[in-house]
Structure 1
Amino acid sequence: MFENKKDINDDKVRFSFAANIIREIDHWIDLLILTFVLLIGAVTVYALYDSQLIYSNAESTIYSSFRPDENGEKSFDELCNLNHDVFGWLDIYGTNINYPIVQASNNERYVSNDVLGNYSLSGAIFLDYRDNKSFLDFNSIVYGHHMAHGAMFGDIDKFEDETFFNNHPYGSIFFDDMNHGIEIVAFIKCDAYDMRMFNPDVGINYQDQFLNDINIMAIHKRDISISTNDHIIAFSTCASPSETDRQMLIAKLTDEVRENPYAESNDDVDVVRVLQQRAQGEYKKVPVMLWILDIISILFLLFLFIRAIVSYHKNSNI
């Protein structure tokens, strides 16, 4: 009727052995989950860092020291010596579009390389490889990525607002050792495969039709005299929602360089507000699922911490 002491001891040994196995498994599970938590945290930090790096490399201010000045182009020459594909400088007044212009032997190189030729997802502002660097063609096309914070050609979509379009009619473009003026003629939306807009080789017989197409497609346009004797520059960037949607600013090249009324406006910018907006933008670029995993990870770490405290107190009372 009474259990043998040996059997009881055997049961205790088996129970103790099973308990040790369970504790060991529990320990390894905790370790694996903790490793996963740390990996999630590392991925989040890297995502924020990578996003910030892309956009900081795209900011126009990092090239400002190379900008041609009124008395010459010493610093601009230095930039050209660093990369012989650099040949010009674009400034659209009242926007962040203030960059060097490059041209390669194809249209792929500067989609993912910066002005210095280094790999960069922000790319560079580049002229279509089929166009003349002196903008002697009837139609020249300049490309740039649509980036957040107004970087690269990110400010082109501002021209969709009619008031902004009307208040920002001018810019300048430097090439062949001198500055030239540009007048914004129209803002249009089109498809990347619309060869009416993306053909730099517009024959003489089609130039009138090209100008008529711009007039028809324009969301906003300015009453400016423009003819087949003029030189057109189309500034193109991506748009949403489709991957093939494009926004274009159509400009006319002129000999008159207008004064930039916004040249000193950056001095009055609320730097703190800009940095706050930028930080908010970087957080939004991290996938929602990654944030959810981060929250779960934090809760799990909190659970481990509380469990460790409870276990410590239990052992202290034994």
Structure 2
Amino acid sequence: MKRSFRELSRTSLIKRFCVSLMLLSLVNLLFDLGRSEEHVQKQRKVEALYYAEQTSAPLPEGADRNRNAESRKQRTQNQADRRVVSSDTGILVGRNGTRTHSSLGALKKENPDTVAWLSIPGTPIDYPVVQCKDVAFYLNHNFFLEPDAYGCLFVKEQADLQTPGTNFVIYGHNMRDGSMFGSLISYENRHFYENHKLIRLDTGRECREYEVMSVLKTHLFQNREDTFKYYQFYQANTEEEFKNYNQNLKALSLYDTGVTASYGDHFLTLSTCSSYVEDGRLAVVARQISPAPAHGGETGDSASFGTFDE
């Protein structure tokens, strides 16, 4: 039976619609690829500024002074494996005994808002951390102050990374290409955690090492006061406050890492969006292990921050 003119027209419209969707998807894909490549180029420029500052200090008397310089490519690839943090000095120490002084000088010259460099060995996370009065600025501007959907990792204005405090919160976008804090989603898998337990934070004055303690998924509770808001916790002024914080972390953790904490410990929280629910959040909480913080529940001007959070 021959199809009617109306049926043929409907079929033609459906085909055109499908073709239009495919073309639109292709355009979006090409746009994302172009934007991703541009982001990679910007990131390489930032990395060059940071790693160029990690220059070797004079070696102790009797030390090997004949080490050949690595190429920048080798230095970038091997940086995470080659460097360790001295628990006594908080200075980067090369595995051959060469001491490497941490410095954010070049980054600060390019962008005075620079306060730290964050890295997680074995992941794409290897970025500067910034801070400014406008809490929304770095949601859509990059390190070079240019409009950029990738934004930049940042902390609240009041956060003082040089002053002891119970918890610091760093925020970043969960990008589809895995950049910025996009790779934090992998911590939902325990196997990934087992191979990426350490987080490093270079504040310019010292390099801190943290051990991942908890991975949790939650969402914003803007209108409820009886819920745990990890993004508002920054200082445990009493042991009871710390106990409550620690219990909430354990209750929300996706799995038990076996890492324990005590009152007086210092923490670093990495926070990003999660699409599992509306206003979802994923947080990776890590305990500082080097340089070892002095215990006693010190207070400081550290602060957490609601970028997207209140």
Fold shared per TM-score above 0.5: yes
Is residue 235 of structure 2 the alignment partner of residue 235 of structure 1? no
Counterpart residue identity of residue 67, structure 1? Y
Q: Quickly say closer, same or farther: Cα 1:222–1:43, change in 2 above 3 A.
A: closer
Corresponding residue for residue 77 of structure 1: 105
Counterpart residue identity of residue 215, structure 1? K
- Tell me, what secondary structure is at the counterpart of 1:149? coil
Is residue 157 of structure 2 the alignment partner of residue 174 of structure 1? no
Is residue 133 of structure 2 the alignment partner of residue 140 of structure 1? no
2:155–2:170 CA contact under 8 A, matched in 1: yes
Counterpart residue identity of residue 51, structure 1? D
- Tell me, what secondary structure is at the counterpart of 2:255? strand
Corresponding residue for residue 65 of structure 1: 48
1:55–1:148 CA contact under 8 A, matched in 2: no
Is residue 227 of structure 2 the alignment partner of residue 199 of structure 1? no
Corresponding residue for residue 35 of structure 2: 54
Aligned residue-pair number: 218
- Tell me, what secondary structure is at the counterpart of 1:67? helix
Q: How far did 1:150 drift?
A: 1.8
Q: How far did 1:44 drift?
A: 7.2
Q: Quickly say closer, same or farther: Cα 1:49–1:177, change in 2 above 3 A.
A: farther
Q: Quickly say closer, same or farther: Cα 1:200–1:135, change in 2 above 3 A.
A: farther
Please say which structure displays the higher CA radius of gyration.
1
Counterpart residue identity of residue 115, structure 1? F
Q: Distance in 1 between matches of 2:280 and 2:289?
A: 29
- Tell me, what secondary structure is at the counterpart of 1:66? helix
Q: Quickly say closer, same or farther: Cα 1:234–1:127, change in 2 above 3 A.
A: same
2:174–2:272 CA contact under 8 A, matched in 1: yes
- Tell me, what secondary structure is at the counterpart of 1:207? helix
| Most deviating of 233-242 and 219-228 | 219-228
Q: Quickly say closer, same or farther: Cα 1:122–1:204, change in 2 above 3 A.
A: same
Q: Quickly say closer, same or farther: Cα 1:221–1:129, change in 2 above 3 A.
A: farther
Corresponding residue for residue 218 of structure 2: 190
Fraction of identical pairs, as percent: 19
Q: How far did 1:78 drift?
A: 1.8
Unaligned 5+ residue runs, structure 2?
1-19, 57-100, 222-226, 293-310
Q: Distance in 1 between matches of 2:23 and 2:250?
A: 52
Q: How far did 1:42 drift?
A: 10
Alignment RMSD, CA only? Answer: 2.7
**Which structure's residues are more often helix, by fraction?**
1
TM-score (ref. length: structure 1): 0.61
Corresponding residue for residue 284 of structure 1: none
Q: Distance in 1 between matches of 2:228 and 2:134?
A: 17
Counterpart residue identity of residue 63, structure 1? V
Corresponding residue for residue 270 of structure 1: none
Q: Distance in 1 between matches of 2:191 and 2:119?
A: 20
2:219–2:277 CA contact under 8 A, matched in 1: no
TM-score (ref. length: structure 2): 0.63
Counterpart residue identity of residue 208, structure 2? H
Q: What is the CA deviation profile of residues 27-46 of structure 1, one whole-angstrom value per residue up to 9, with x for unaligned ones?
A: xxxxxxxxxxxx99997786
Counterpart residue identity of residue 209, structure 1? N
1:92–1:98 CA contact under 8 A, matched in 2: yes
Q: Distance in 1 between matches of 2:229 and 2:22?
A: 48
